[in-house]
Amino acid sequence: MIIKLSVGINLTFNFPIHLILPMSFLEFCCSRPKVENYAYNVNFNPKPSRIKYTNVSEKPIILFYSKDEKNVEVKIEVNGKISVIYPNCQEKNEENSFALWKIKTHPEGKISLQNDKNPENPYKYSSLFWEGLVEYDFSFANGFIVKKEEVVSFLEEKLREIGLIDNEINEFIIYWLPKLNMFNYLHICFQNEEYTKNARLTITPKPDSLLRVFMTFRGYDEVPEGYTVPPQTFEPFERGDFTVVEWGGLYSPPKEESSKK
């Protein structure tokens, strides 16, 4: 693949021939492209305004648990650009850095939009979904070094420690496992302050309990010599009558890989 930036820099990438385009940014990075010659080239000229977005915040979904029906406003603001949302929000700005949903919660864990065309029998969603191109980088000063063969048991254990329940853990692993399995070793770090500072979530009325789980990871064929990190610890999470849970993640290339870009 040849990528020609509008600033006049040519970057040549090679990826396994069995991969079929289109692929996500994460899948492309995880293929660890190397320079070589293949029978086909792809050229495109991205707008300069998009070059700065180097990370893809994937699959943040927001789940709502309420004992009774509530009218709720949910606002997400990111330092970057929201690229995908579902269901459609009622308000957003031109820069796509802001989205606002007006929803109604239902006791069975479903939600509906307040402006649904059929308010007597509205379409019910399991969650709110957004994905974004973000400008910020995360620290990997701590976390966990995990072998590919141990990643499932690791996630089951740590996600439960963080506060997710079984069905949330199941959906989390189903989504992320194919991406994590692209590597022999992983450095996994669950972000807190850095994520919440750059992807601000405002919910009105304020929930009794709010849990935001955001996993960042780097992948390696072999762990670099002497590469160790202190493990993370997690505070217990208590669920209240109105609980909101968000989970998502992001692939961050290792430093040596990032420096080659």
- pLDDT on residue 57: 65
Q: 166-180 and 151-162 are packed helices; what angle lies between their axes, rounded to 10 degrees?
A: 140
d(CA 137, CA 17): 30
- pLDDT on residue 55: 64
Q: Among 156, 225, 152, 142, which residue's Cα sits nearest to residue 187?
A: 142
- pLDDT on residue 58: 76
Quick one: DSSP state of residue 181?
T
- pLDDT tens for the chain, 261 residues long, are 333 344 444 444 444 433 333 444 455 445 544 433 333 333 333 333 333 335 666 779 999 999 999 999 999 999 999 999 999 999 999 999 999 999 999 999 999 999 999 988 999 999 999 999 887 789 999 999 999 999 999 999 999 999 999 999 999 999 999 999 999 999 999 999 999 999 999 999 999 999 999 999 999 999 888 889 999 999 999 999 999 999 999 998 886 644 444
Bond from prior residue into 253 cis (ω within 30 degrees of 0): no
Q: pTM for the full model?
A: 0.78
d(CA 2, CA 201): 38
Helix or strand run (H / E) with residue 158: helix 151-162
- pLDDT on residue 49: 33
